[in-house]
Structure 1
Amino acid sequence: MTASPSPAAGPIRTGRQPLSLALTAGLLAALALASVAIGTRAVGWSDIWAALGGRVDSIATAAVATRLPRTALAMLAGAALGLSGAVMQGVTRNPLADPGILGVNMGASLAVVVGIVWFGITALQDYVWTAILGAGLAAVFVYAIGSLGRGGATPLKLALAGAATSVAFSSLVIAVVLPRADLAGSIRSWQIGGVGGATFAGIGHVAPFLAVGFALAMISARRLNALALGDELAAGFGERVARARATAAAGAVLLAGATTAICGPIGFVGLVVPHVCRLLAGTDHRWLLPFSALAGACLLLGADIAGRILARPAELDVGIVTALMGGPVFIWIVRRQRIREL
């Protein structure tokens, strides 16, 4: 028997959800058009339609052709990070959980850097497998550390364990890269986090992993509703708590690891998006998860556009913009939630 959403968690806004979801999808479509149109070189609608039709016979259409995969990657990466954050918050019942704060992104980053420097990996497919392995090991490590002591894996202990792990892994990345001056520049650029230079071939390499991650996350929605009631009550409703938590966590790790492999570690998207989406969708994960995916795509795409506008004729990497946006929101969440469980 599957548990229903927790009555104590807040009202289920069934009347507002379809309209809000449609508006969010409309906003994403508008941002996608803006992402294709905005850049160092201004382009017109005729150039956009020509590029969509496969023509690259002018500088303007060539510019649009390079922005198309960048736009697609920003949407996919944002959706993956937003969904991953919502799942992690549901699994841990921790309002501060997200792939960056819990050390998952940095675990993936460390694994990729070690693979590049020590084992000479160069193919994107190898990056993806390595990043997913690193993300998974980091998630297990943080959860194990946060589970030590009285009370088990409380939100406060998980947040502290994740923060400490991120700092430690970041230091290890620097230690691994320092002796390799020939690779330091490219690795530092990748570590900032960005979607520039995206290609459809590269997106094709990570798409299968993201698809599996999306599927695992979405099928876990009802189980996350059950977990929100607490482990004992969820088990009383017939839910296999360990399996439910492992399935959802696996989806979140796949999403975070694959995204980190192609974009670098991008922080705060998975933290900010679920909190905003709960205001629109309530706490029912059957609505919250698709909302988080759409809103995450909107946030990362908007941040990428903002980075192009703010630093013209150069641009700010999207990882810098999300960090500037996410820092104040993180402080607000800490003050509002006071590290309570969801």
Structure 2
Amino acid sequence: MMLNSTSSTLSYFILGAYLQVGNVRYLYFMLTALLYVVILIANTSLIVVICMNRSLHEPMYMFLCSLFVNELYGSSGLFPFLLTQILSDIHTVSASFCFLQIYCLYTYANIELCNLVVMSYDRYLAICCPLQYNTRMTLNKVFIFIIVIWLYSFVKFFITLSLALRLTLCGNIIHSLYCRNYLIIKMACSDTKVNNIYGLFAVVLSVILPLFPIIFSYMKIFHVCFSGSKQTRQKAVSTCTPHLVSLLNFSFGCFFEIIHTRLDMNSVPSVLRIILSLYLFIIQPLLNPIMYGLQMSKIRNTCKILCCYKMLTAHRDLTLT
């Protein structure tokens, strides 16, 4: 179905990437629901652990808390929608919800990267400037960093969304499992020069610019590791490994997102196309709490203490009854 109207008057979009899978849809639904539940439980549990334990009220764990909140934010912008679409026979989405989903998913990705950038700077200070760490990375500065990260992302993508809303569209079929800004711009009949210029500017701000503090931080960290003591190397490895894994996984997810959106994927099996399109929004929020929960000894020990406390409380209640 083709529509000749502006995006402001367009009532709905059709998602053309969903397959007619018959009863297999219930299997897909259960797998997707299971992933969503695991993501919710894992990230919420670590947020509660960090908030409840005063010994974890340190800069690194505050940044982790922001990261886990962002995982919940991004997952909630996608998974309930996917679950509804999997069970539906008509894969349509209202224009207003589509743009809201674009805003949610794009801000999620930007907040994720900015959070990882600030965390790399935090690790640089902790490893390379340990004597100055407490004065250069206070809790007040941490909260300012977190507020700026979230506000910056919301404002930047509000501009992106505003530019998309002004376009005249000549179609309403999005060949994707969810709404994407790039695919909507491709349907535009009007001039997209402003969108493209701001898009390049946003890429510089969102991707290229954050690379410099990450590269700088890890160059300094690696220099200290190779020239420092064995204890320093062990500390660097234990604290930087989860961050590096998360950063690399996020980079893979963004790369998969770009090739899936920009390149012709018709020759690629449909299952692989689905995995590539959802990789960033499934693996990242699933990997982060597992990586940090297992690797960070303070979080791991706090979880053990809470679990033991709950078991003792349950055993005492059973004994009393």
Return the TM-score normalized by structure 1.
0.32
Higher relative contact order, chain-length normalized (CA < 8 Å, sep 6+): 1
Considering fraction of residues, name the structure with more strand: 2
Return the TM-score normalized by structure 2.
0.33
